[in-house]
Structures are given as structure tokens and as C-alpha cells.
Structure 1
């Protein structure tokens, strides 16, 4: 007789008194003593969550703490066979393991997630992926998470464990476009200012902290993010109208260009236009990691 297909377990370590009170108290105390803080805005509902950079087993501990403190349920993919091992399998499922059976008779990952989230209306459920795939150095990201997000019609939540700023949690909701390569590069750009426990092993490489910019520079980036999603480039007048701010000085634009956040081009009539670089899109994600996390870029 064939083995019965395993499904995602609804009740896990994130449910019940142990998590809601005991673990929450312990993590709260630990974070306070160690000086760690949470990304303050946590998205509602379900999402495919990528966690980067991943250079240490401690990454999961901090991510677990953030999830418990913010009432989030985390699920992670694992081979179906591991979940069938007596005792170990039950423990893994309790921790949030999502059993994946890749045989012809198995329920696919996308279909399993789609069926599960139908039962989780209104709950914070994050399906966790580490695009680096390992704690060691890698040459490129694994992009299976992208195809899962497409198949499930879910946003991608970008999460981090930054050992320099001592901040952990989800810092942005990334909505997919029709350009996978561009999306992946933009997501990677947002992690270039995140400092892993062992930064020499992380991908993309750590490139230093995000440039310190003011409100008007932030408004320019946000306006360009909205305009770029529609037409690609914009003039200073269009940016000013979208950003709803008055005079835009050349100094502000020069600063953003020098830091690789926007780039300059020309229209046929020789009017200067601007657009975001991939690094600029990454910078946008950090700029709006707090109060504006859930704000629509083109709102």
C-alpha cells in the first residue's frame, strides 16, 4: 500500500501557550539584553519569504525569535522522506516543516501551499526560503522561491538578520513583475547593505551601509519607483509632480547618481530624464522598511 501523502501541519510550535507566552517572554528578554530589534512593520496574510544573507545557523534562531514575537507562523520545505522518520519526522512537522514529495504521485509544493492558505485566512503565514541554499559561499541564488510565488500568486516578503544593525524580520513586500531577471537583481540589490554573521560568505557581497539621505531624496526614489513601473523614465518635472514636493535641486539628483541609486538619460528633445538603477530599487526597499512598508509605491 502506498504511503499516505503528508500535508502541512496546521498546529505547530507557533501555536499554543508555550509559544505565545513562554517562548515570547524568553525571546523578548534575550533581544532586549543583546540589543536586537525587530523590523517594526510585519505584513499581514501569507507570503513567500526569503531570508538572506544566510551564513550561520544563528540566522534561523533570530528569524524564529522575530516570528514568535510578531505572531507569525513559519513553514519551511523539507524532503517528504525526512518527515516519515519516527519521532524525528513528528518533531520536524511540529517545527513547521513542509513535506515535499517530488514523486509523480506526490502533491506539488505550489498546490500544497495554495490549499493550505485557504484554511489560514487572515493569519500571518510565511513560507521560508533561503535563496543561497547553504551557509557557505555560493555563486548564485536558487530561484525556486520565485516560481513558487508566481504559482501561488503570493507576494515575496524580504527578511533579514543584520548582525551590524542587530535588526531582524521582514522589511519589504516585493510584488513580482513580468521580468524575473530584473526582479531577482533588484531583490539582491536590497541585500547588499545587510551584514551577515560571516559577510565574506554572503551573496550578494556586502557593500556597506545604505547612503544616508533626506526626506526629499527619499521622495525622489519613491516617485521614480512608481513612475518606472509604468514608463521606465521620468523628467524632473514629472518626478516633482509625483513626489508632491516643490523645487528639486540638481544637488539632490547628483547625490543619488553618485551613490548609484538613479541614473541619467536623455529624451529625443534633449530633456534630461532619470530612472532607478537596480541598486536604487534595493535602496527603496530599505527606505520604506518601517512606516511605509505596506504603502503602495504608486499610491
Structure 2
């Protein structure tokens, strides 16, 4: 029912999902450009139109009533961000505990304009031993995709540069294009 409704919504909104659903039961999907809260909404609808909802890590305080009853069924998983907690260890442990987890992460780490992309997805991938896929949501073409394999190496900085270049070369446009910086402009 949810999948059918999301397929309907995608068509009504004029978006299209290209590619296929990621078949790995456990993986990370790096998604960009993250320039608006609409990114989450449109991507959730798009990904869910292909099958189960993706997972996202959200601060645990958001799981209180009433928001918790909305975000939990959408694939949100709690992340304790209190002082002294280790986000990386929590996420790796969550991967180990779950049978299926397709974790969506934005490398920019914020919706604001930033030149510094974060390599947390890289560390999670290596520690949890899960593959990484590139996802994108292009507001100009109204197109999204989630299934492009991205081979990580032992060099985080080089991998981040390769990822930035991929997004630049693809010409992906965010909801607020002026906030998406790859460094290749």
C-alpha cells in the first residue's frame, strides 16, 4: 500500500526514479545535494516507491511523542548525541544488530552551504563492512537514483574528492543550487 501510494506521489510531483533498488540488505547510500528539508521528503517518497523505506539516523530526542510515531515507520533510527556518546560506534552496532539496513547519509552533513564534506560514511562502511552506493536527487531534471556503486579505498580524502567530482560531472542540481559546493565550480 505504501509503495503504491509513493509511486503515485512521485508521478503527481513530476519526478522519476531511474536505476533500480539496491539489492544489498546492508549498505550505505550517500545522497547529495542536501540543500533543503525537501530532499528528505522527495527521496523518502522516491526510494519507498521502489520497496522498503531507507534508514536514516536521527537524534534520539526526536523519537518522543508525537514525532516518534511518524518518523519510526519511515525508517528513522535513533542516534544518541549526548556528550560522551560515540555516534560511529552506535551506527556500526546498529548495522550489526539489524538484518536489513540501507542507511542514507549526506556527505555535506548540513543543508547550509559548505565546502567541507564529511567522511563519516566512509568510516562506517569500513567498520561495518558494508558497500557504499551513490544516490542523487536532481531538482532541475526532477530525477533521482540510489544504486550507483562507489568503491571506497583506504584514503578518505581522495574518495571524498572523487565523490565531489562525480556529483559535479553529473551536473546534479539541488533545491537551492547556490548552497551545493563541490569545489569544481
Stretches of structure 2 that go unaligned for 5 or more consecutive residues are: none
Residue 82 of structure 1 deviates from its aligned partner by: 2.4
Q: 2:154 aligns with which of 156, 166, 178?
A: 178
Q: 1:194 aligns with which of 163, 172, 176?
A: 172
Task: Give the Cα separation in 1 of the matches to 2:147 and 2:73.
Answer: 26
Q: 1:40 aligns with which of 5, 11, 19?
A: 19
Alignment correspondent of 1:151: 127
3-state DSSP of counterpart to 1:132: coil
Residue 74 of structure 1 deviates from its aligned partner by: 0.9
Alignment correspondent of 2:95: 113
- TM-score, length-normalised on structure 2? 0.85
Structure with max Cα Rg: 1
3-state DSSP of counterpart to 2:46: helix
3-state DSSP of counterpart to 1:196: coil
1:91-149 deviation digits (Å, cap 9, x = unpaired): 22222211112556997211111211xx23xxxx4201112122210130122111111
Task: Give the Cα separation in 2 of the matches to 1:23 and 1:172.
Answer: 22
Residue 206 of structure 1 deviates from its aligned partner by: 6.9
1:166–1:26 distance in 2 versus 1, CA, 3 Å? closer
Say if 2:181 is the partner of 1:203: yes
CA contact (8 A) 1:199 1:206 kept: no
Say if 2:123 is the partner of 1:140: no
Task: Give the Cα separation in 2 of the matches to 1:189 and 1:199.
Answer: 16
1:24–1:37 distance in 2 versus 1, CA, 3 Å? closer
- Count matched residues: 179
CA RMSD of aligned residues (A): 2.3
Q: Map residues 261-280 of structure 1 onto 2, 5 A cutoff.
A: none
Alignment correspondent of 1:164: 140
CA contact (8 A) 2:58 2:76 kept: yes
3-state DSSP of counterpart to 2:28: strand
- TM-score, length-normalised on structure 1? 0.55
Alignment correspondent of 1:293: none
Relative CO higher for 1 or 2, CA cutoff 8 Å, sep ≥ 6? 2
Say if 2:70 is the partner of 1:91: yes
3-state DSSP of counterpart to 1:64: helix
3-state DSSP of counterpart to 1:95: coil
